[in-house]
Amino acid sequence: MTFRKLARTILHLDFLKAMSLTFMSLFSKPITRQYPSEKRPVSLGFRGLHALTRDSVTGEARCVGCGLCAAICPSRCIHIYTSEGPENKKIVERYEIEVLRCVYCCLCVEACPYTAIALTEHYEYVAFNRQTLYMTKDRLLDNYDSYMGREKDEHYFRLFWHPRRTDFMTPVDQAVFRRRP
């Protein structure tokens, strides 16, 4: 042991330094937040409770039941039930998410070509049973109304969602080979 270290040990310098730090912190402003009365603002893009988005014109769910979100979901917590509608269009009878199994990876949002699913900023949801956190289509649409809405929707998808469905469409001026009639 060097003389310097020995002197520090004998004089309890480290202890005194720590005590002075504690003493000084008694007069500094506390940084603890008094949750739930005091909340930290959540930035857009936070991965909170799920929502099914609505079409801005019709107000109906944008989801077309393609199943891409369910296919990519690593937790297998998205369940979609569809039926055949007019003109071979799918009707989404049920769209359900088991929130307790979700790992909030956001892959469903990235995979959806219709910007039909989002993770909202809402994080204050607790329950005493699993059923409360089993989201049905209606509840997911309600989540959109309550925690996202049209304004945030625009911003959210512009910032966090690429590419768009239109990016996969054939450009208007591109030559296309068609079958002979």
For ligand SF4, the binding residues (CB under 6 A) are 63-69, 73-75, 77-78, 80, 97, 102-108, 111-112, 114, 116-117
Residue 94 CB, shortest distance to ligand SF4, in Å, is: 11
Provide the 8-state DSSP code for 150: H
Shortest distance (Å) from residue 173 CB to ligand SF4: 28
**Nearest residue to 77 (alpha-carbon basis) of 95, 54, 52:** 95
Question: Toward ligand SF4, which CB reaches closer, 15 or 81?
Answer: 81
Q: Which residue number, 39 or 94, has a Cβ lying nearer to ligand SF4?
A: 94
Class of residue 93 by CB neighbours under 10 A (exposed 0-12, middle 13-18, buried 19+): exposed
Single-letter code of the amino acid located at 174: Q
Q: CB 62 → ligand SF4: shortest distance, Å?
A: 7
DSSP alpha helix (H) spans, the chain: 3-11, 13-25, 68-72, 107-111, 137-147, 149-160
| Cis amide prior to 181 (ω within 30 degrees) | no
Nearer to ligand SF4, 8 or 107 (CB): 107
Residue number with CB closer to ligand SF4 (38 or 87): 87
Minimum distance, C-beta of residue 75 to ligand SF4, in the bound complex (Å):
4
- What whole-number distance in Å separates Cα of residue 95 and Cα of residue 136? 6
79 vs 155, beta carbon nearer ligand SF4: 79
Compute how many other C-beta atoms are within 10 angstroms of the C-beta atom of residue 143.
Answer: 22
Closest contact distance (angstroms) between CB of 138 and ligand SF4 is 15
CA distance 133 to 131: 5
